[in-house]
Amino acid sequence: MIGFDVTGFILSWLVFFSIYSILSISLNLETGLTGMANFGKVAFYALGAYFTGYVSIEFFLRLHGLDYPIYSTDAIVALGKLSVEQPSLNLSVFLLTLVGSFLFAGVIGFLIMLPALRVGPAFFGITVLSFGEMLRIFLRHYKPVGATYGLVGIPHPLAWVGGTFSKDLGFALISLSLLAITYIYAQRITNSPLGRLLKAIRDDETATLYLGKNVPLVKGKVLFIGSGMAGVAGCLYAYYLGSITPNAFMPAVTFEVWAMMLLGGVGNNRGSILGAAIITFLDRSTAALNFLFPNLIIDPNFIRWMLVGVIIVVVLLFKPEGIIKEEYVWTPAWRLLEAKAEARRKAFKELIGRLIKRR
């Protein structure tokens, strides 16, 4: 048996935990808060990843005046050399692709709103699901992005740092800080007037429409934000692995994110993070299992996906609210009312106390 690298396991788990948490928070915004059945999360994840991979490779090659085709040995060798030369270039390309993948995936998500405006949840689910599958087929057969081979040799933003450990640690910290930003942002949305409007749309779309709210526009906004977040997750994924293939973006990935959201608690951002932590840990453990026991009867990958299906069904049947229940929205008005009610309760107690004393 080869030695098992515990620190490496934890660092890779941290990166995957951040990526999947960002995905499940974005799904929670769309599905948990707004009630849109987004079965195509993986499409926006893939868009972010491919945007990142393509732009960063092109940038590195063309900036140095090399015109190798994207999937060639020369290009990969050149990228390996170039990526350790200029730290400032690496970091600026990283920032550029981070913002770019947010906007790219977000705008395409916004355009998906067009059919979403006209159809109910069932049809929206079908459309988005098939959009994801179409995108995968397209990427598999489209030569300029490497077809079945995908993109290889994406320059790591921290490639210039010496040593694998410090590089991985740095990337894990970057991912965790992006997760923190996403979480704070999502939490701000949830507790804002927009968040309350989203919950209103989820609970009764017709009533919200007749209150004079522009429901299609709000849905489009949420799809923009959610898809953009998924694009950021894809960006991190592409940089972390350094190579992406179309088959990494199977529809099953979407359902894994669904399982995270349902397990943690629908409509609750902390729940989404908790669900992501649990499922990515199981996922990484099955990967480790694969590594430790190579001769299992059933492929551990199959067990992992079966587990995802079982989690979805079991959570829906036995604990539909998830591990953490949906919370109140703490608006300023609520706080004021709560303080007033507290004062009133106190006064009432005092009154009772006085009455008892008098007797």
Q: Looking only at residues 154 through 213 of this chain, which bind another protein when binding is defined by CB under 8 A?
A: 205-206, 209-210
CB of 31 to another protein, least distance (A): 7
CB of 352 to another protein, least distance (A): 40
Q: How many beta carbons lie within 10 A of that of residue 272, not counting itself?
A: 33
Binding-site member from 59, 99, 125, 185 for another protein (CB under 8 A): 125
Q: Report the residue number, 118 or 335, with the smaller CB distance to another protein.
A: 118
Any residues with CB less than 8 A from the CB of 84 and at least 6 apart, and which?
159, 160
Q: What is the DSSP string of 302-351?
A: HHHHHHHHHHHHHHHHH-TT-SSPPPPP--HHHHHHHHHHHHHHHHHHHH
Binding-site member from 66, 91, 95, 137 for another protein (CB under 8 A): 137
CB of 252 to another protein, least distance (A): 6
Whether the CB-CB separation of 276 and 270 falls below 8 Å is answered with no
The H-or-E segment that residue 219 falls in is helix 215-241
Q: Looking only at residues 316 through 355 of this chain, which bind another protein when binding is defined by CB under 8 A?
A: 316-317, 320
CB of 251 to another protein, least distance (A): 8
Query: Quick check: 285 binds another protein (CB under 8 A)?
Result: no
Query: Quick check: 310 binds another protein (CB under 8 A)?
Result: yes
Q: What is the DSSP string of 57-84?
A: HHHHHHHTT----SSSHHHHHHHHHHTT
Burial class of 285 by CB neighbour count within 10 A (0 to 12, 13 to 18, 19+)? middle
The H-or-E segment that residue 243 falls in is strand 243-244
Query: Quick check: 43 binds another protein (CB under 8 A)?
Result: no
Count of residues of this chain found to bind another protein when the rule CB under 8 A is applied: 52
Query: Quick check: 119 binds another protein (CB under 8 A)?
Result: yes
Query: Quick check: 255 binds another protein (CB under 8 A)?
Result: yes
Nearest to 179 by CA among 21, 338, 294, 59: 21
Straight-line distance from the first to the last Cα atom of the chain, in angstroms, rounded to the nearest whole number: 82
Whether the CB-CB separation of 326 and 340 falls below 8 Å is answered with no
CB of 175 to another protein, least distance (A): 26
Query: Quick check: 252 binds another protein (CB under 8 A)?
Result: yes
Query: Quick check: 217 binds another protein (CB under 8 A)?
Result: no
Q: How many beta carbons lie within 10 A of that of residue 62, not counting itself?
A: 10
Query: Quick check: 239 binds another protein (CB under 8 A)?
Result: no
Q: Which residue type sits at 27?
A: L
Q: Report the residue number, 41 or 156, with the smaller CB distance to another protein.
A: 41
Residues that bind another protein (CB under 8 A): 31, 35, 37, 39, 114-115, 117-123, 125-127, 129-131, 133-134, 137-138, 140-141, 205-206, 209-210, 215-216, 252, 255, 258-259, 262, 297-299, 302-303, 305-306, 308-313, 316-317, 320
